[in-house]
Amino acid sequence: MERERWLSPREFGELWALSQLSPGIHLVALAGLVGDRVAGWRGVAATVGGMLVPAAAITVAVTVAYGAIASSEIARAALSGVAPTAAGMTLATALLLIRSTARRARAQAALDLAVSAAAFAAGIAVAIPTVAAIAIGGLIGVVALGRERPTSRETPVG
């Protein structure tokens, strides 16, 4: 993008940061923002469509293939391992995030660990719906990070 002079490194960084605020797939949001900046609504349609249409086609193909083998023993065995794998990956990600925080501030790491443990316990004990857990986590983040100063030294975009 820089070679084509579509966006400066700063503009790309700003769009990247903005895309991180959106729910869902951040790269689709980034593609839409870049498409908008480069070619307006046509750019949004081209970039988002270019990312979603192939993914949708693959999803349809995999769904059709799964329909053909759904009743087989091997498919059931493979699916029985999905939940523990997802739980392990989620736990590993949480621990990596806590570890990176611990390098900066021990008190913040303790708070992160406490919130993660509470969320884990609540998820098991109460079976909180995913949307509610995300909303509660967002509120905790607003309260915990609301007092932090921005780390960027550049002037705000205006």
Summarised one tens digit per residue, pLDDT across range 56-68 is 999 999 999 988 8
Structural domain contains residue 150:
no
State the pLDDT at residue 156. Answer: 54
Boundary of a domain, candidates 18, 40, 69: 69
Between 94 and 85, residue with greater pLDDT = 85
- Predicted confidence at residue 50, as pLDDT, reads 94
Helix 106-125 vs helix 82-104: angle between axes, to the nearest 10 degrees? 160
pLDDT at 86 over 90: no
Is residue 92 in some structural domain?
yes
Range of the domain at 46: 9-69
What tens digit of pLDDT does each residue of 16-33 get?
888 888 777 888 888 998
Asked, for residue 158, whether it belongs to a domain, the answer is no
**Residues 86 and 140 reside in one and the same domain:** yes
Query: Do 39 and 86 lie in a common domain?
Result: no
Question: Does residue 102 surpass a pLDDT of 50?
Answer: yes
Residue 153 within any structural domain of the chain: no
Claim to verify: residue 46 and residue 98 sit in the same structural domain? no
Residue 48 neighbours by CB under 8 Å, 6+ apart: 28, 31, 32, 35
Write out the two tokens for 17: 């940061």
Structural domain includes residue 1? no
Tens-digit pLDDT profile for residues 38-84? 889 999 999 999 999 999 999 999 999 988 888 888 888 888 888 88
For the chain, how many structural domains are there in total? 2
pTM of the model: 0.43
Residue 120 structure tokens: 């884990």
Do 16 and 38 sit in the same domain of this protein? yes
Q: Examine the domain organization and report whether 64 and 112 are in the same domain.
A: no
Position 158 pLDDT exceeds 50: no
128 phi and psi angles, rounded to 5 deg = -65, 135
Verify that 65 and 90 share a domain, yes or no: no
**Of 69, 99, 117, which residue constitutes the final position of a domain?**
69
Q: Each residue of 105-154: pLDDT tens digit?
A: 777 777 777 877 887 787 778 877 777 877 887 787 777 766 666 665 55
How many C-alpha atoms does 124 have within 13 Å on its Cβ side? 6
Question: Taking 70 as the threshold, does the pLDDT of residue 4 lie above it?
Answer: no
pLDDT given for residue 147 in this prediction: 66
- How far is 1 from 37, CA to CA, in rounded Å? 11
Asked if the structure places residue 55 within a domain, the reply is yes
Q: How far is it, in rounded angstroms, from Cα 9 to Cα 62?
A: 38
